[in-house]
Amino acid sequence: MPTNLSFAGVIVLYNPEKDVINNIVSYLNCLDHLYIIDNSLTDNKAIKELLISNGNKVSYIPFKENRGIAKALNVGCTIASQKGYKWLLTMDQDSRISSEDFFKIAEDSILANAKIGIVSASYFRSDITKETTYSSPCIITSGNVVNLLAWKKVGGYNEKLFIDEVDNEFCVLLRMRGFEVRQTRDNFLNHKLGNDFLVYDTIKSKNKTLIRHPPIRLYYMTRNGLYIIFTYFIKDTKVAVSRLRNLVILYYQIIRFYEHKGDYLKYIFKGFRDFTLSRYGKYKT
């Protein structure tokens, strides 16, 4: 869907599956240019084929090492800003835009409000408003149209976090600088949060679906979650409490429902340890 604004885009890859191409195609037509930042150890052949078929519209930047989501996003934002773009779509490899109408809604929101920091494509429908968008304290990274001037003013994404909570802190910083974080009422984002698995809750006598992350993710979730809680408890109590609640629920689910609990508890302990020692960046064995 053509719009009056020019949107660039950045997608961050890490050992992507083959369907990443279909995900990219879902929004590529609405972008002036797409920057593909690859955290994988090797080049991606399928991405190179996409480059060939789309000419100068796609740039592929392989790191050949995992530098983290924040670093990759900052590289994409920096290049897009240097090329003169003011708005940038940020996407995960597991996400796709379900309708090009999202870009029209984003454009309308941007033109109507000079303080927009992010317009985010929601992955669920909300009935809390009749408006096309509503204010949200924090949103996930994927499906965001980011104001690059706002990105620059808050100092970009926090690279010391590497992964997890990068999106939440970015939203907190935007709002602290007076920018608005808005989310679409309707569902425009198909997004996979992790690997689902079914468990039986004996207390509630019913099945429930949980999300299983690799054990090492619990290191980042713990370390960075504690960072958000202690850094912003006074400045943004609502977000800090929500992160504490999420950690408590996650730990409960691991102890109650997960197999191989020891693997997860080991990384949780290391996350606590490195938070107390102020060790950030990529996990070091």
pLDDT at 4: 67
Q: Which of 43, 25, 42 is nearest to 34 (CA)?
A: 25
Are 130 and 103 found together in one domain?
A: yes
- In-domain check, residue 281: no
Please provide the DSSP assignment of 146-166 as one string: EEHHHHHHTTSS-GGG-SSSH
Are 123 and 151 found together in one domain?
A: yes
pLDDT at 113: 94
Q: How far apart are CA 109 and CA 91, in angstroms?
A: 19
Q: How far is CA 278 from the centre of its chain?
A: 23
pLDDT at 200: 45
Strands 206-212, 195-201: parallel, antiparallel or unpaired by DSSP? Answer: antiparallel
Are 187 and 123 found together in one domain?
A: yes
pLDDT at 2: 45
Are 132 and 148 found together in one domain?
A: yes
Are 265 and 242 found together in one domain?
A: yes
Token pair 């001037």 is at which residue?
Answer: 149
What tens-digit pLDDT sequence spans the chain (285 residues)? 445 689 999 999 999 988 888 999 999 999 999 999 999 998 887 777 777 777 788 999 999 999 999 999 999 999 999 999 999 999 999 999 999 999 999 999 999 999 999 999 988 776 666 788 999 999 999 999 999 999 999 999 999 999 999 999 999 999 999 999 999 988 889 876 666 545 545 556 566 666 778 999 999 999 999 999 999 999 999 999 999 999 999 999 899 888 889 999 999 999 999 999 999 999 998
- In-domain check, residue 2: no
* Cβ–Cβ < 8 Å for 10, 91: yes
Instruction: Say which amino acid occupies 185.
Output: R
- In-domain check, residue 282: no
pLDDT at 201: 58
Domain extent, residue 49, equals 7-191
Q: How far is CA 41 from CA 15, 63, 65, 90, 234, in A?
A: 8, 7, 5, 21, 40
